[in-house]
């Protein structure tokens, strides 16, 4: 791999690290703004757990020692994203949070999921 390609790949990793961290922070802010009703707090804790672990999985993936480990960690992050999307939709469907308030988070979750899927597919093709 040329130095230019390494620089581009490292830049992408950094960007995705920042995006997943920003996503986690948005999830934290959402959780702290939720109503104090029991159902909102129970769902919120689920969302908080899954939404903040996406970045942790990706961070671990970037430190992977093998392609198999990268794939495993990335797929773990993808599973957490899918769970996060589920909880976000449940908040909307239950009327706890308005759809308009969550549209940006839902869109970012979908985009992050697409990026992780593409990354895993790329690594699988290489091996």
Q: What pLDDT was estimated at residue 8?
A: 43
Which of 117, 109, 118 lies closest to 52, judged by CA? 109
Establish how many alpha carbons lie within 13 A of residue 74's alpha carbon, considering only the half-sphere containing its beta carbon.
25
Q: What pLDDT was estimated at residue 4?
A: 45
pLDDT tens for the chain, residues 1 to 127: 445 445 545 556 669 999 999 999 999 999 999 999 999 999 999 999 999 999 999 999 999 999 999 999 999 999 999 999 999 999 999 999 999 999 999 999 999 999 999 999 999 998 8
| pTM, full prediction | 0.87
SS3 (DSSP) at 37: coil
Q: Which structural domain, as residue segments, surrounds residue 91?
A: 3-126
SS3 (DSSP) at 119: helix
Distance separating alpha carbons of residues 101 and 85, to the nearest angstrom: 14
Q: What pLDDT was estimated at residue 127?
A: 80
110: CATH: 1.20.1440.60
Q: What pLDDT was estimated at residue 12?
A: 61
Per residue in 45-81, is it b (16+ CB within 10 Å) or e — as a string?
A: eebbebbbbbbbbbbbbeeeeeeeebbbbbbbbbebb
Total number of domains constituting the chain: 1
Q: What pLDDT was estimated at residue 5?
A: 42
Exposed/middle/buried for residue 119 (C-beta within 10 Å: 0-12, 13-18, 19+):
buried
């Amino acid at each position: 791999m040329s130095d230019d390609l390494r620089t581009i790949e490292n830049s992408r990793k950094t960007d995705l690290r920042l995006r997943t961290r920003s996503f986690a922070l948005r999830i934290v802010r959402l959780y702290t703004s939720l109503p104090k009703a029991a159902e909102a707090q129970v769902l919120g804790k689920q969302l908080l757990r899954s939404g903040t672990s996406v970045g942790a999985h990706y961070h671990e993936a970037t430190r992977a020692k093998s392609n198999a480990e990268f794939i495993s960690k990335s797929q773990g992050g993808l599973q957490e994203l899918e769970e996060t999307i589920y909880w976000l939709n449940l908040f909307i469907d239950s009327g706890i949070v308005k759809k308009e308030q969550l549209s940006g988070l839902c869109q970012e979750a979908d985009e992050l999921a697409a990026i992780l899927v593409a990354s895993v597919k790329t690594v699988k093709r290489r091996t």
